[in-house]
Amino acid sequence: MPPLTLYIDADACPVREECYKVAARHDVSTVVVANSFIRIPQSPLISRQIVDDSFDAADDYIAERADARSVVITSDIPLADRCIKAGAKVLSPNGKPFDENNIGSALATRAIMNDLRAGAEMPTFGGPPPFSQRDRSAFLQALHTVLERMKRELK
């Protein structure tokens, strides 16, 4: 039976260290995908894949490899959609899952926001709140839960 693989969309991922810890605990191969060098721990379970800096190169690398034995960590909604369609489990860095039930509304909200930004001047709302310890804790629990469930289901 092929092993589980964790793919990290790493360029702007605030939970790489948490991914390494949980993946090691579950003995899951981890691929850190970025368009520039990112330091990773020395471990036979963790590898680095540097892609070129063309638009969506990291997304393409991950989406082409994601399958039902994969967990993808990303905040990129179009990438999440591609990976879900390939059968992968997808988590955002704050631990919220993307799945068949919520990806459509996430894509629609993203499209509306892009349209608004492209139109008339918009007031700035300050962006999302800072990444908190609560977000890290929620992510750790969510990743652990997803990996446990996948290991049970795929036996």
Tokens 């007031």, residue located: 123
Residue 111 has pLDDT above 70, yes or no: no
C-alpha span between 61 and 10 (Å, rounded): 12
Please report, for the domain that includes residue 86, its CATH number. 3.40.50
Summarised one tens digit per residue, pLDDT across range 134-148 is 999 999 999 999 999
DSSP per-residue codes, 46-81: EEEEE--SSTTHHHHHHHHH--TTEEEE-S-HHHHH
**pTM score:** 0.88
Residue 124 has pLDDT above 90, yes or no: no
Domain count within the chain: 1
Percentage of the chain lying above the pLDDT 90 cut: 70
Whole domain around residue 35: which residue ranges? 5-153
Tokens representing residue 85 in the block: 């369609």
Q: pLDDT: is 120 or 136 the higher one?
A: 136
End-to-end CA distance of the chain: 8
Summarised one tens digit per residue, pLDDT across range 36-53 is 999 999 999 999 999 998
